[in-house]
C-alpha cells in the first residue's frame, strides 16, 4: 500500500466545466491544493481521452500530483498515468494489478459493507466509499452509505478511505471526522468560478 495524499481528490467532469478547458481547471485546482486528480470522462472517445490524459499527466508531473484514470486500464498504460480507479463492475483488481504492475496506484469503489469487507483481502491503495451522500454527478451507484457507513468502514478497513458523493464545503469536514483520509470533489471545484480559490477553501476546512 502506497503513501498517497488523498485529502482533496479532484474528479473531472467536462460537462460541469462551464465551457472552460479541463487542463486549466485541473492546474488551477492543483495550485489551490488538490492532492490527487482522477480523469473521469464517460462521454469521451478513446482518442480524445488519451490525448487529455497525456496533457494532464504533463501538467501534474510538474506539481508531483498523481494522475488516476477512471476505469480505463489501457488509457492509464498508454498515458503513463500514476494509476487507475475501478468500480465493482470494472476489470477485477487482480487482473488490473497484473497488467499495471506493483508500482501503480489502484483505487476501488465500495458501495456497501459486504464490498468493503471483501476489499480487505485485496492490496488496493485506497477504497472509495461511494456514495456517502446522494449526488447528481454520480448516478450509477447504490444507496447512500452516510456518515455512519464511513465510520463503520473506517473501524475495520486496513485501507485509507476516500468519501465520494455530495462532497462540498458543508459536508467534507464531517466525512473526514468520520474516518476518511480524503474527499472526492467534482462540481464544487470543476464548476467553481475560481477552481483555485474553491480548492484552497476546501483544503482549509479539513486541515
Q: Which among 7, 14, 40, 79 is annotated as catalytic?
A: 40
Catalytic residue among 109, 130, 157, 187, which?
109
Asked if 60 and 30 count as a contact pair (C-beta separation under 8 A), the reply is yes
DSSP β-bridge partners for residue 162: 128, 182
DSSP string, 166-204: S-STTTHHHHHHTT-SEEEESHHHHTSSSHHHHHHHHHH
Q: Report the residue count for the chain.
A: 207
Query: What is the rounded distance in angstroms from the CA atom of residue 36 to the CA atom of residue 54?
Result: 16
CA distance 34 to 112: 27
98 closest CA partner among 111, 84, 110: 84
**Is residue 138 flagged as an active site residue?**
yes
Instruction: Point out the catalytic residue in the list 7, 72, 104, 138.
Output: 138
Whether 207 sits among the annotated catalytic residues: the reply is no
Residues serving a catalytic function are 40, 109, 138
Amino acid at each position: 500500500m502506497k503513501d498517497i495524499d488523498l485529502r482533496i481528490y479532484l474528479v473531472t467532469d467536462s460537462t460541469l466545466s462551464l465551457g472552460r478547458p479541463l487542463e486549466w481547471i485541473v492546474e488551477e485546482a492543483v495550485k489551490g491544493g488538490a492532492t490527487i486528480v482522477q480523469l473521469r470522462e464517460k462521454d469521451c472517445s478513446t482518442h480524445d481521452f488519451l490525448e487529455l490524459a497525456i496533457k494532464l499527466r504533463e501538467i501534474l508531473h510538474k506539481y508531483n500530483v498523481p494522475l488516476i484514470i477512471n476505469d480505463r486500464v489501457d488509457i492509464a498504460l498508454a498515458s503513463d498515468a500514476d494509476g487507475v480507479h475501478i468500480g465493482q463492475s470494472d476489470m477485477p483488481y487482480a487482473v488490473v494489478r497484473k497488467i499495471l504492475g506493483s508500482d501503480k496506484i489502484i483505487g476501488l469503489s465500495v458501495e456497501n459493507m459486504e464490498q468493503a469487507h471483501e476489499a480487505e483481502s485485496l492490496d488496493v491503495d485506497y477504497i472509495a466509499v461511494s456514495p456517502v451522500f446522494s449526488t447528481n454527478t454520480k448516478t450509477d451507484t447504490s444507496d447512500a452509505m452516510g456518515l455512519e457507513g464511513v465510520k463503520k468502514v473506517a473501524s475495520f478497513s486496513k485501507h485509507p478511505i476516500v468519501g465520494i458523493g455530495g462532497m462540498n464545503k458543508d459536508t467534507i469536514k464531517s466525512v473526514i471526522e468520520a474516518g476518511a483520509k480524503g474527499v472526492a470533489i467534482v462540481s464544487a471545484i470543476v464548476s467553481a468560478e475560481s477552481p483555485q480559490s474553491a480548492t484552497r477553501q476546501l483544503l482549509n476546512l479539513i486541515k
